[in-house]
Amino acid sequence: MINIALPKGRLGNKAYKLLEACGYTISELMDESRKLVFRNEESGVQYFLVKPTDVPVYVSYGVADLGVVGKDVLIESDADVYSLMDLGIGKCRMCVAAKEDYVEDKSRPIIVATKFPNIAREYYAKEDREIEVIKLYGSIELAPILGMSDVIVDIVETGTTLKENHLKVFEEIMPLSAQLIANKTNYKFKEKEIREVVAKLGEAIK
Amino acid sequence: MLIDTNKLQKDEQVFLEMQQLFQSKGYSLYKMRRFEEYSLYLENKKFLNGENVITFNDTHGKLMALKPDVTLSIVKNARTEDANQKVYYRESVYRFDPASSTFKEINQLGLEFIGAISLDDMGTICYLAEQALSVIDNKFVFAISHMGIVTGIIEAMGISLENRDDVIKAIKSRNYEQLKEIGIKNGTSEDVLKKIKGIFDASTEFKDSLKALKEASFNNDIKVAVEELEKVYESISKISKGNNIRLDFTIINDIAYYNGIIFQGFVSKLPRAILSGGRYDRLLEKFNKQKGAMGFALSLSDLAVYNPNV
């Protein structure tokens, strides 16, 4: 039995579609149920639906052998897991954005509002720039509008939200997409099954 | 009265059974002080993965630490004029646990060999580590690798010092796509990347993985790694069945301290490696001691999940 942690929501649904195409099906419709665990003895798979940021946790602790997680969440979590493949879904970018007329004041640290403090710190450390981080959990765009921060470090998909709020992208930090991750210990005990999942997914996303 | 070791707590059982085995292979018990001078850890911070240390002032005002590691103390006290030093220990170390944001006391069982280490000695150390795992759980994996694989890959890819950590990260997370991206940025040849992909594509079955490494032998580091791994595997196979041995190149220890064979041990009920070790001659060099060194440590504190129901 392979245990897979999927993120609740759009990315999880897309990932399930890929896995379904590989034969790892379940009979119930996931998005219409309130259940959190779905199991199919025949296809030898069990899915857990969890909060996206919790996927690396379930995988690190080994209750899930595999997990599907955005690269943003994975890097931010710094989880010690295998990152076996890029699933090519949920593509977007991690960017630095600010008000359209923003000009950096180099005489003081930049105030950065973000859901991803680790990614922000690492990026600015490489730029040799001192920052102050304000950790937020949502509506990050509000911070520079209200003058709480100079910039934001956040995920940008289409850029519509930024545009509507008179913000724009100043730097792209990295491209993002969904990753298939694995627990390092479970990989050793279930290597054959996990390699089979990886091979089938590889075919499915070709 | 004879003690039925199966009824003991797992950490006690493992200690008693391994103690007997260690002694039969010529290792003797090493007992140490609970405290060390803090400077020892400050000077070797990287060996401890930047670990936080609990410090205090002793009665003379000297800054002391509750030891976060045993190997450093054994190496520091090893006398170069002595013949081979073969010791085992059971000691508590104090480390910061990021998951709970607190310090944790970890009881460790470990073994160190300092001196002229032969291939057979390396085989015996691996065998002892493998046996310790089998005492914990018959479902275990002893995963072995060699530092020459990672240094060989770095050299063949033409990676500069500043990008080295990114390469190590990509290998540790078995992420070929990431590694390839770094390679392309650094002008790594297609042929080298293709050979590295072969290493990633192979399973961790010892023979399968060794074959991929042989095919990729693009430089001396990898060649030496393949040769040593093959000989050590032969040497372990002479004394053990070797059914649970895997060759896993994603196991990497710190390049500044480790060289040669490295390994980790996994048991079915724990999500992380329970045992880790390897050859660390470079640590001795830092203490100006020209000797070989190899050892491993196993966390007895993690074994509670195996305790028999009382």
Helix (H) or strand (E) holding A6: strand A2-7
Q: pLDDT by residue (tens digit) across B157-195?
A: 999 888 899 999 999 999 999 999 999 999 999 999 999
Task: List chain B residues with CB under 8 Å of A182.
Answer: 174
Interface A:B, Cβ pairs < 8 A:
45
Two structure tokens written together for A174: 């990295």
For residue B160, the tally of other CB atoms under 10 A from its CB is 8
ipTM of the shown complex:
0.91
Across the interface, which of A84, A85, A185 has its CB nearest the CB of B266? Answer: A185
Verify whether the Cβ–Cβ distance B141 to A183 is below 8 Å: no
Helix (H) or strand (E) holding B17: helix B10-24
For residue B308, the tally of other CB atoms under 10 A from its CB is 10
Question: Is residue B50 scored above 70 in pLDDT?
Answer: no
**pLDDT grade, residue A29 (50/70/90)?**
low
Residue B71: partners with Cβ closer than 8 Å, 6 or more residues away: B47, B110, B112, B280, B283, B295, B297
Task: Average the pLDDT over A50-65 and give the result.
Answer: 96
**pLDDT grade, residue A164 (50/70/90)?**
very high
Two structure tokens written together for A133: 């981080």
Give the pLDDT of residue A30.
Answer: 63
Q: For residues A144 and B199, what is the distance between their CA atoms, to the nearest angstrom?
A: 47
Q: For residues A19 and B209, what is the distance between their CA atoms, to the nearest angstrom?
A: 28
Residues in chain A: 206
Residue B75: partners with Cβ closer than 8 Å, 6 or more residues away: B112, B114, B283, B284, B287, B289, B293
Give all strands (DSSP E) within chain B, no chain letters: 28-29, 35-37, 55-57, 63-66, 85-97, 102-115, 140-146, 245-247, 261-267, 275-279, 292-299
Across the interface, which of A83, A86, A192 has its CB nearest the CB of B174? Answer: A83
Verify whether the Cβ–Cβ distance A82 to B173 is below 8 Å: yes
Give the pLDDT of residue B97.
Answer: 85
User: Is the separation of the CB atoms in A81 and A148 below 8 Å?
Assistant: no
Range name among A109-118, B72-81, B139-148, B185-194 with the lowest pLDDT average: B72-81
pLDDT, mean over chain A? 93
Burial A168-206 (b: 16+ CB within 10 A, else e): beeeebeebbbbbbbbbbbbbbbbebbeebeebbeeeee
Question: Is residue B92 scored above 80 in pLDDT?
Answer: yes
Question: Is residue B234 scored above 70 in pLDDT?
Answer: yes
Give the pLDDT of residue A43.
Answer: 85
Residues of chain B whose beta carbon is less than 8 angstroms from a beta carbon of chain A are 139, 141, 143, 172-175, 177-178, 203-204, 246, 248, 250, 266, 268, 270-273
Question: Is residue B310 scored above 60 in pLDDT?
Answer: no
Q: pLDDT by residue (tens digit) across A62-93?
A: 999 999 999 999 999 999 999 999 999 999 99
Q: Does A1 touch chain B (CB under 8 A)?
A: no
Which residue in B has a C-alpha nearest to residue A81's C-alpha?
B173
Verify whether the Cβ–Cβ distance A191 to B266 is below 8 Å: no
Give all strands (DSSP E) within A41-150, no chain letters: 45-50, 66-70, 82-86, 92-99, 110-114, 131-135
pLDDT > 90 in chain A, percent: 88
SS3 content of chain A, % helix, strand, coil (to 5): 35, 30, 35
Q: pLDDT by residue (tens digit) across B256-272?
A: 889 999 999 999 999 99
Predicted TM-score (pTM) of this structure:
0.91
Give all strands (DSSP E) within A52-160, no chain letters: 66-70, 82-86, 92-99, 110-114, 131-135, 151-156
Two structure tokens written together for B1: 């009265």
Task: List chain A residues with CB under 8 Å of B266.
Answer: 185, 188-189
Which residue in B has a C-alpha nearest to residue A196's C-alpha?
B203
Two structure tokens written together for A56: 């690396």
Give the pLDDT of residue A34.
Answer: 75
Give the pLDDT of residue B296.
Answer: 97
Range name among A22-26, A185-189, A196-200 with the lowest pLDDT average: A22-26
User: Is the separation of the CB atoms in B156 and B192 below 8 Å?
Assistant: yes
Task: Average the pLDDT over A144-169 and give the result.
Answer: 95
